[in-house]
Amino acid sequence: MVKEKVCSVEGCSEPGVRSFARAKISEALQKASLTLKSGRSRRAYLCSEHYKIYKKQTRKEKRVNKWRYGT
């Protein structure tokens, strides 16, 4: 069964165009003030709009990687 993929960002119902490991994108999205919908799946999907935001965010992150805060 193939379920339709919907963007995993809270409040968004656009179709997901890319799939990611949830853990990988949740942090970057949080920095952009976006939250992922809660779910049991380890995969998360982003629509084209949120994918753009995610990409921007990760690009920024690479730059500050050197002096990022410890967790």
Enumerate binding residues for Zn ion (CB under 5 A): 7, 9, 12, 14, 47, 50
Angle, helix 48-64 to helix 22-31, in steps of 10 degrees: 80
Least CB distance from residue 35 to Zn ion, whole Å?
Answer: 11
CB 20, CB 53: distance < 8 Å: no
In the complex with Zn ion, the residue whose CB is nearer, 17 or 67, is 17
In the complex with Zn ion, the residue whose CB is nearer, 15 or 59, is 15
Polymer length in residues for the chain: 71
Least CB distance from residue 31 to Zn ion, whole Å?
Answer: 16
What is the Cα Rg of the chain in Å?
A: 13
Structure tokens that stand for 34 in this block: 């976006």
In the complex with Zn ion, the residue whose CB is nearer, 39 or 65, is 39
Least CB distance from residue 51 to Zn ion, whole Å?
Answer: 8
